[in-house]
Amino acid sequence: MAGSKKKSGEVSGFDLVRAVGHTRAQQAPSASSKPPEEEPHKTETTKGGARVRKTALPTKHEILCYECGYRFFSAGRAGTLYCPKCRTILESTDYRFDADCREPVKTTGTVTISENGVVEGALVIGSRVYLDGTLGEGARIQGYVQVEIGPHARFDFKQVETPKLIIGEGTSIRKKRMQHDHIEVAGELTGEIHVTGLLTIRATGCVRGSVTTPRMTMEEGGGLVADICLGVEDTPAEMAS
Ligand SMILES: [Zn+2]
């Protein structure tokens, strides 16, 4: 990432859009005849502030079309969500699994796999995935914005794909070597940690071992006991294996 617009100590932008997750399209897909040609609900901000309403601001958030892989931004309002590229109607339902799940799930909403949830032989795709349950044989999860690991999660990192891995509060992970674009630690993380973007250590978090990251932000109260290589690009060459 070229632009270093991160202000140290600031809350990450992901938090800002967290509230948007609830919006779901209760679409009768037939209701709207045509896919919108442009982004829906482009709010024109009148300078006079005449359109102030009680509704939440339509924060733009990133959508990944799980069919064609195209990334775009949506205002996050209710309504049918189309991929502007392949025109697939994208589901935005939030899911929660408290028991076995054997069916693949594709959504632009959030997915929660709770302590008693078990994914078996299926691919689960969501924008944000919270994993506190078990990924069984052949299961994979993809959180295209983030994946948060809870304290009861049982899985292998090979089963998890995301640009931003969050070690949740109360979660303790020990791994010999780990590499991710962004890692956020609110629990405990021990190992040889390679980050290519931003490492965030929350007030409840602690990192031990060795850390290589170009950028890091740390809240007061967070712990760090590690050999640190900060502010340099990691060498991707040796990651190959
Ligand atoms: Zn698409």
Q: What are phi and psi of 191, to 5 degrees?
A: 150, -170
Q: Return the pLDDT at 75.
A: 77
The answer to whether the beta carbons of residues 109 and 24 sit under 8 Å apart is yes
Tell me how far the alpha carbon of residue 82 lies from the centroid of ligand 1, in angstroms. 8
The residues facing 72 across adjacent strands are 63
71 Cα to the center of ligand 1, angstroms: 8
C-alpha 98 – ligand 1 centre gap (Å): 30
**C-alpha of residue 107 to centroid of ligand 1, in Å:** 12
pLDDT digits (tens, 9 = 90+) for 129-183: 999 999 999 999 999 999 999 999 999 999 999 999 999 999 999 999 999 999 9
According to DSSP, residue 121 is labeled S
Provide the pLDDT confidence category of residue 74 given band limits of 50, 70 and 90.
confident
pLDDT over 80 at 235, yes or no: no
Report the candidate in 199, 206, 138 with the shortest Cα–Cα distance to residue 172.
Answer: 206
Give the distance (Å) from ligand 1 centre to CA of residue 240.
29
Q: Report the pLDDT averaged over residues 107-123.
A: 95
CA–centroid distance, 146 to ligand 1, in Å, is 20
Predicted TM-score (pTM) of the model is 0.71
- Residues bordering ligand 1, an ion, CB closer than 5 Å: 65, 67-68, 70, 83, 85-86, 88
HSE-up (13 A, CA, CB side) for residue 10? 10
Q: Which two tokens stand for residue 241?
A: 């294996």
Q: At residue 1, what is the residue type? A: M
What is the arithmetic mean of pLDDT over 52-61? 58
Asked whether residue 88 carries a pLDDT value surpassing 90, the answer given is yes
Looking at per-residue confidence, does 72 or 235 come out higher? 72
d(CA 120, CA 70) in angstroms, rounded, equals 27
